[in-house]
Structure 1
Amino acid sequence: MSRHQKRLSVPNSWPVERKTAKYTVKARAGPHGEDGVPLLIVLRDVLGYVDSKKEAMYATNEGNVLVNGESVSDVRRPIGMFDILGFEEREEFYRVFPDEGGRLALTPIEESAADGKLGKIVDKRQVPGGETQLQLHDGRNLRVGEGSEYSGGDSIVIDWDNEILAHFVYEEGALVTAVQGQHAGEVGEIEEISVIESSAPNTVSIVGEDTEFETLEEYVVVIDENFVEGEEQ
Structure 2
Amino acid sequence: MSNHQKRLSVPKSWPVERKTDTFTVKAQGPHGEDGVPLLIVLRDVLGYVGSKKEARYALEHGSVLVNGDEGVSEDRPIGMFDILAFTEREEYYRVFPDEGGRLALTPIDADAADSKLAKIEDKTLVSGGRTQLNLHDGKNLLVEDPSEYAAGDSIVVSNDDDEIVAHFPYEEGSLVTAVRGSHAGDIGEIDEIQVTPGSGSNNVIVEGDDDTFETVEEYVVVIDENFTGDGGDGE
Normalised by the length of structure 1, the TM-score is 0.95
User: 2:189 aligns to what SS in structure 1?
Assistant: strand
**3-state secondary structure, aligned to 1:205:** strand
Partner of 2:135: 136
Deviation at 1:38, TM superposition (A): 0.5
Structure 1 counterpart of 2:234: 232
Contact 2:66–2:72 (CA<8 Å) still a contact in 1? no
CA deviations over 1:22-45 (Å, ceiling 9, x no partner): 2211112x1102111100000011
| Distance in 2 (alpha carbons) for counterparts of 1:204 and 1:171 | 10
Q: Does the Cα contact within 8 Å between 2:155 and 2:164 map onto a contact in 1?
A: yes
In 2, Cα distance between the equivalents of 1:197 and 1:51?
52
* Correspondence for 1:190: 190
Matched, 1:50 2:52: no
Q: Which amino acid aligns with 1:52?
A: S
Q: Distance in 2 between matches of 1:23 and 1:129?
A: 46
Question: CA 1:54 to 1:127, structure 2 compared with 1: closer, same or farther past 3 Å?
Answer: closer
2: CA distance between counterparts of 1:194 and 1:103?
A: 27
| Superposition pairs of residues 111-126 of structure 1, within 5 angstroms | 111-126=110-125
Q: CA RMSD in A?
A: 1.2
| Structure 1 unaligned spans of 5+ | none
The answer to whether the Cα contact below 8 Å between 2:124 and 2:131 also exists between their aligned partners in 1 is yes
In 1: Cα distance, 2:197 partner to 2:221 partner:
22
> Once the 2 structures are TM-superposed, how far is the Cα of residue 185 of structure 1 from its aligned partner?
1.1
The residue aligned with 1:169 is 169
Q: Distance in 1 between matches of 2:153 and 2:163?
A: 16
What SS does structure 2 have at the residue aligned with 1:58? helix
Runs of 5+ consecutive residues of structure 2 not aligned to the other structure = none
Residue 63 of structure 1 and its aligned partner are, at CA, apart by 1.5
Give the distance between the partners of 2:52 and 2:43, measured in 1 at CA.
Answer: 8
CA shift, 1:217, in A, is 0.6
Contact 1:188 1:211 in 2 (8 A): no
Q: Which residue of 1 aligns with 2:214?
A: 214
| Distance across 1 between alignment mates of 2:143 and 2:45 | 37
Say whether the 8 Å CA contact 1:63–1:73 is kept in structure 2: no
Equivalent-residue separation in structure 2 for 1:113 and 1:14 (angstroms): 24
The superposition leaves residues 12-70 of structure 1 with CA deviations (integer Å, 9 ceiling, x where unpaired) of 10000111222211112x11021111000000111111122222122112221100101
Report matched runs for 1:19-98 at 5 Å.
19-28=19-28, 30-98=29-97
2: CA distance between counterparts of 1:167 and 1:106? 23
* Distance apart, 1:179 and its partner CA: 0.9
Deviation, 1:139, is: 1.0
Once the 2 structures are TM-superposed, how far is the Cα of residue 202 of structure 1 from its aligned partner? 0.6
TM-score w.r.t. length of structure 2: 0.95
2-structure distance, mates of 1:128, 1:61 = 36
Partner secondary structure for residue 181 of structure 2 = coil
Identity of aligned residues (%): 69
Question: Shift of residue 198 of structure 1?
Answer: 2.1
Offset, 1:225:
2.1
Partner Cα separation in structure 1 for residue 62 and residue 200 of structure 2: 47
User: For the residues of structure 1 that align with 2:223 and 2:208, how far apart are their CA atoms?
Assistant: 14
Native 8 Å contact 2:206 2:214 kept in 1: yes
